[in-house]
Amino acid sequence: MQDFIRVLVAEDESLIRRDLVETLNELGHEVVSDVGNGQAAVDVARSLGPEGLDVVLMDISMPVRDGISSADQIISEGIAPVVMLTAYAQTDLMNQAAAAGVFGYLIKPLRQSDLVPALLMARTRWTQFQGLSEEIDALKARKRVSDVTEQAKEMLIERGLSEEQAFSLLRKAAMNGRITIAEAATQVISGVTGLH
C-alpha cells in the first residue's frame, strides 16, 4: 500500500478547506480535489472512482447536500471510505454518521496529529471491508449454485432417479452442453432441457 493518501476534501468553509489541503500536501499526501458542498463531493468521487481516490474527508454541515447523505452515497457505491469532519460532537450526529457507514469522525478544531492516523485507519479498514464484501459475494454465489443444483436434483429424484443418478445426469448435461452444472440445473428447473 502506498505511503501517501489520495484525499478528496469536502469543506464549505474556504479557509478551513485551504488549510486542510495545505496540511495534507505538507505531510506528503495528495489532495486529488477539494470541493465546497456535498453534491460536488459525490460527483467528484464518482468521477475519480476507487482507482483515483483513497479517502474522502468531509464536513457534515454543507450546502446543496449535507455530508452524511453524501457520505452514505459514496460509501454505498463502493467508491471510498469517508471520514467526517465536524464542529459538533453530538451523539445523534455521530449515530447518523455511523448509520451512513463512515470510517472516522474528527472534531474541529482539528489537531494535525489526529488527521493522518484517521485517514490511514479509514483506508486500511476500507480495504478490509472490501475484501470481506468480496468473500461474502463469493459465498452467496456458491450458495446459489448449491441451491439450484439441489433443487434440480430433487426434481429428478421425483421423476424416479436416485440422488447419484440425478447428479450424474446433471454433470453429463453440463459436459455435453459445455455449461456449468448450475446452468444445467437451471435448465432442468425451468423445463428447458429434456433431461429425465
Q: Tell me: the pLDDT tens digits for 73-116? A: 999 999 999 999 988 778 888 889 889 989 999 998 888 888 88
The answer to whether 70 touches 42, Cβ cutoff 8 Å, is yes
pLDDT for res 195: 56
Mean pLDDT to the nearest integer, 10-15: 95
Q: When comparing pLDDT for 1 and 191, which is higher?
A: 191
Please name the residues in contact with 25: beta carbons below 8 A apart, sequence gap of 6 or more: 31
Q: Band the pLDDT of 193: cuts 50, 70, 90.
A: low
Whether the Cβ atoms of residue 88 and residue 60 lie closer than 8 Å to each other = yes
Confidence of residue 156 (pLDDT cuts 50, 70, 90): confident
Q: Name 55's Cβ contacts closer than 8 Å, sequence gap at least 6.
A: 5, 6, 7, 8, 80, 81, 82, 83, 103, 119, 122, 123, 126
Structural domain boundaries of the chain? 6-110, 141-190
pLDDT reported for residue 73: 96
How far apart are the C-alpha atoms of 189 and 133, rounded to whole Å?
Answer: 29
Say if residue 135's pLDDT is above 80: no
Q: Which CATH architecture has domain 6-110?
A: 3-Layer(aba) Sandwich (3.40)
Q: What is the pLDDT of residue 184?
A: 87
The one-character DSSP state at 27 is: T
pTM of the model: 0.69
For 141-190, give the CATH class: mainly alpha
CA atoms within 13 A on the CB side of 155: 20
Percent of the chain topping pLDDT 90: 46
Residue type, 176: N
Q: State the DSSP code for 56.
A: E
CA dist 96 and 32 (Å) reads: 27
> Which stretches within the chain are classed as H helix?
14-26, 38-48, 67-76, 91-100, 112-158, 163-177, 181-190
- The residue behind cell 501517501 is 4
Contact 17, 40 (CB under 8 A): no
Contact assessment for residue 173 and residue 195, using Cβ atoms and an 8 Å cutoff: yes
Tens of pLDDT along 16-63?
999 999 999 999 999 999 999 999 999 999 999 999 999 999 999 999
